[in-house]
A and B are shown apart, each in its own frame.
Chain A
Amino acid sequence: MSDSSEPPRFTDANSGAESVLGDLFRAAERDLPSESELARLKARLPPVFSGEAPVASRPGLSKLGRVGLGVLALGAASVVGYLATRAPERVPAPSVPVASAPVSAPTGPSVSSPASEPSAPSPEVVPSVNNAPSAVAPAPKAPHDKPSEAALLEQARRALASDPARALALTRRHQALYPRGALNQEREVIAIEALRRLGASSKASERATGFEQKYPDSAHRRTVEKGLGQ
């Protein structure tokens, strides 16, 4: 790939410090992921990467916009950033209104009783004075109005810092609309962080325990543990 006007690469060196560096870069060239690592990565990507049917045709999922996918991927990865920038003092006082039972889903399992999540009892009432209805009303069941998984969770992620109650409500909405969604892990990460920010440490820990039991090999496990200071 090089031409005569370009400097020789370290891997071209025959002696001296440059050849030592050449050895290191040659070793680095062989430093490739394993097949299992690549397979695990591919499994986390949209089906188009595997040559499968488009996401929109998969049951249980609405049409996932490309923008939504990209936004969610950025959001999921940057949950790490949010957790890092969290300040304990930002956990709101108990007077912050919290979404509770009135946030109900039109269909699917109970909003706050995940079908297979052992650690999220219903309803998720956090220690606060007010139990005002969530600011997020569930959308009526209309396929063309149904927000995508990615869009919902991106809204939740964005709300974490300023309005964790809303973030939590949005995760419950996701749970109701997509009980077998492709982004359940990402939802749980956001929900756990929302609970933590709301001061519901025990609830957050319970849900984190459930997450680790359900997804023991999750790439988000470390994020969850760090968020809880583990």
Chain B
Amino acid sequence: MSAPPSKPDLRQLFDENAKYIWRSLRHLGVPDADVEDICQEVWVTVHRKLPEFEGRSSLRTWLYGICMRVASDYRRSAYVRRERPTSEVPPSAASQSSSVASNEGLEARQALQTLLGLLDDEKRAVLVLYELEGFTMKEVAEIVGTPLQTAYSRLYAAREVLAHAAREKAEG
């Protein structure tokens, strides 16, 4: 009989993934002003649910599943819908972030946020997980909780929206 998997170390899990979770939340439409709060919510949920982790998926996909659900709940809240244009990066908030070291980086982030804002939450999640976080499509489907073919459909649709918008912008 094989030994049960050792309990994941929360500190190690945080140290290895926190910055990527932060990055993902930003690109899933959480404004800069709320990213820290929502990150906290993700990690407290991780802390609470970790004993239930059975190892049927990788720890990273399990972690991102929580991240997706928390981000989705946040965006569905009336507060966000009424008070936040989530496709915009507020200049004051962005300028406070020392992770965007140059104007060029800030412009790139604003441009990508604008494009991602063209997508609904489902397509956006699939695109961010695949294009930005580098998950395989099988992992993406598992994280967002859909059949693989559905995940592919959303990815192709999202890519087409972005490619079309990029072409239009290039054509002036």
Contact = CB atoms under 8 A, between A and B. Distances in A.
B11 A66 contact: no
A24 B114 CA distance: 11
B39 to A, nearest CB: 5
B135 A1 contact: yes
A31 B47 contact: no
A21 interface: yes
Contacts of B159: 7, 10
Interface string B144-172: 00000000000110010011001100100
B131 interface: yes
Contacts of A80: 34, 37, 77, 79
Given A41-B36, A42-B14, A31 B99 contact: yes
A222 B33 contact: yes
A77 B47 contact: no
Interface residues of B, number: 60
B4 interface: no
Contacts of A135: none
A61 interface: no
B48 A69 contact: yes
Provide the main secondary structure of the chain B interface: helix
Nearest to A81: B77
B136 A2 contact: yes
A115 interface: no
Interface in B97-120: 97-100, 104-105, 108-109, 111-112, 115
Provide the main secondary structure of the chain A interface: helix
B109 A77 contact: no
Contacts of B99: 30-34, 37
Could you say which of B83, B104, B112, B139 has the most chain A C-beta atoms within 10 Å of its C-beta?
A: B112
A123 B14 CA distance: 43
Given A34-B97, A46-B47, A78-B77, A40 B108 contact: no
14 contacts: A21-B166, A27-B109, A33-B23, A41-B40, A41-B43, A46-B47, A48-B11, A69-B44, A70-B48, A73-B40, A76-B37, A77-B37, A77-B40, A81-B78
Given A1-B139, A28-B27, A33-B97, 17 more contacts: A2-B136, A3-B136, A18-B163, A18-B166, A21-B166, A28-B23, A28-B108, A28-B132, A31-B23, A32-B99, A33-B99, A37-B36, A37-B99, A44-B40, A48-B11, A49-B11, A76-B37
